[in-house]
Structure 1
Amino acid sequence: MIALIGAKILTMCGKNLDRGTILVRNGKIWAVGKNIDIPAGCQVIDVTGKIITPGLIDAHTHLGVESEGMGWAGTDVNERSEPVTPGMHTLDAINPADLGLLEAYRGGVTTVMVAPGSANPIGGQCVIIKTAPKPIVEQMLVKRYAGLKIAFGENPKRCYGADLKKMPVSRMATAALIREAFWKAHHYLTKQDEKDFKYDMGLEAIAKVLRKEMPLRAHAHRADDIVTAIRIAKEFDVDIIIEHGTEAYLVAGMLAEEEIPVILGPTLSTRSKLELKDKTMESPAFLYRHGVTFAMMSDHPVIPSCFLSIYAGLATRYGLPKNQALKMITCDAAKILGLDDRIGSLAPGMDADLVVWSEDPLIISARPEIVMVDGRMDFLPGKGPSLPANA
């Protein structure tokens, strides 16, 4: 058993604790509170003056499927041979040795959702993993079926219509391809009990969405694309999460009324294409004021996952309350990912994923000093990578 004593504990599920104690046993949080009796033989770590938070959650990345420093050889994020590829799964492409995963872990990001890219109207299936270094991706796995990635807007039009001169050339075609695939999957479900039924890997992936075993995860920046994604989800009565949501603030009332969550960002990127021209750093505060459930993403490698706490901190400069900024990268992210019974807060029975910070994690000078995943600790030096003597 491990005891962390003396820190300010931001539980994200109740009152914060000054000079509190966390007990960890067998990879789970055993107890959280003040004046806790510490069992004999417990490894006691005094972290007085520090701040403990749950491990951070990056709710939308391409970590491991677009490996850093490897160029085209490490890019497995889009299967651009066909526009509709629901049978693809990021689990089969994740490189657990990706340096981005290691840096995310050292930055206090302990859980990430990994998605296919947005070249295809239907790109494939998403997965959720923990970032603690492991040689085999299954050892990092949290949720194998975390959603089916679909994409609207400029990317499918550019990747197929402009680059390959094939469908989709228009937003109409993107929506039509998604609808057609879902109608095929609906018909596929009705045939499953027949003698001549033939298994189809792609249709089976869509069937998981139709059975509400996983949600749609819809890449949509522009407000009209967000509304189109919602329209299709309602037609097929499936769960949906809006990814990116650059103009979600324009339809915040609809999102709140329909109780549709948003994974927002990346907020710190430039306006690199037309559909980002109305991007605003005030989006988190606007969605919060309108009652939209939302989390924040890095979209790594668009911006590095390891600085997720800084992106959340910047949102407070533009009006988001401080506690809410931390919630969107901990407990609210966990809720949207369907994992709030395991991660995102510090309470008995939760996974022992936590970070000991040198100071308030939302300020730029804060650094992780201890990162724990499933009860396993790494003590970080906080001085950056060692440089060779001749550097």
Structure 2
Amino acid sequence: MLGIVRPCRHHLSPALHRRWAAHLCGTCLALRDGHGQLARAATNVDALLVSVLASAQTPVPARSSLTATDRLAGPCPARGMRTATVATGDGARLAAHAALLLAAGHVADHADDRQGAFRHAPVAAVGRRLADRWSDRARVTAPAGFDPAALLAVPARQHAVEQGATATLEEATAPTADAVAAAFAHTAVLAGRPDNAAPLAVTGAAFGRLAHLLDALDDLDDDRRAGRWNPVDATGAGVEATRGLARAQVATLAATLPTVELAGPELDARLAHRLLVHETERAWQRTHARTEQPPTDQPPHPGDGARGRPPRGLLAGCAAAAGLCCTGQLCCADEFQGPWSGRPRSNPCANCCDCTECSCDCCDCCGSDGCCCDGCGCGD
């Protein structure tokens, strides 16, 4: 499951967390229904923002707090074999379409670079075929009225940037920014709110660029060791400038989202704000903290990457990943070893405060309604 917006239960009220899960499950089920069981592996916690935005713009009867297309889904192992209300409809299908294309590009990139399990030639070949199949499938099943050209062009445009002699950070992240801008803007079409298209395009571009920059910063050490292309070094921008540009995208999100008219269910409007404003800030803070030690804008000296634990093979890595899941380390440990790389990884929820011993919800500020925006300067 990919993505930078990964709220834990400490950061969302119970109602908002259930709504977030409804969009996550809706995206997963849309992938299954539209592209088969294997496509559910492409479920992306960032792509579900498309479903959230579409729902948050679509008015519903005053007596209802959910969209008309929500439905009850059957038991699922990911939910502890419990049933749940999930978000469906055009927004979920567009989210699934975006998730499939993002996953196809991600798998193709790792297969081409021989990263992780894809460093084995047979696995890389299978990954490349899977990525091509997902791309082809998404090309012919695009939601009505949506032009997938921007998303389909991402791998080729990114390859062209990486093969070029020079590029700026803005140019290096433009393919991702344009693709997410197109997806976000189309949610205004789905909701019948054309005036929202322009600010949503700006919002999407900022989010796409932010995701690319944070991913580049998180992968910087690994890319340096392996000699892979990374925009932080390849553009000559360095860590500080990259973090600064990422911080600017967070500010753009906080400034632009309030200009989007969110006339849909209140929970979805609040959730959109929490994910796109507060959780992107949290994602930036996580990456900033990880890249502070040691603060450097210089690649390591030759041979520095040779120290440390050797990477695991395919089967050993799969066994380690299963062990991390079964022992709860992926969700409970502050830090765990990457199943294939063997290097320390910080947990996305490691910086959550522990609210179990206090009588108030110190993370959500205002209790069960999910309002944590009083005084934040960006609306609620």
TM, length-normalised to structure 2: 0.28
- Computing the radius of gyration over CA atoms, which structure comes out larger, 1 or 2? 1
Q: Greater strand percent: which structure? A: 1
TM, length-normalised to structure 1: 0.28
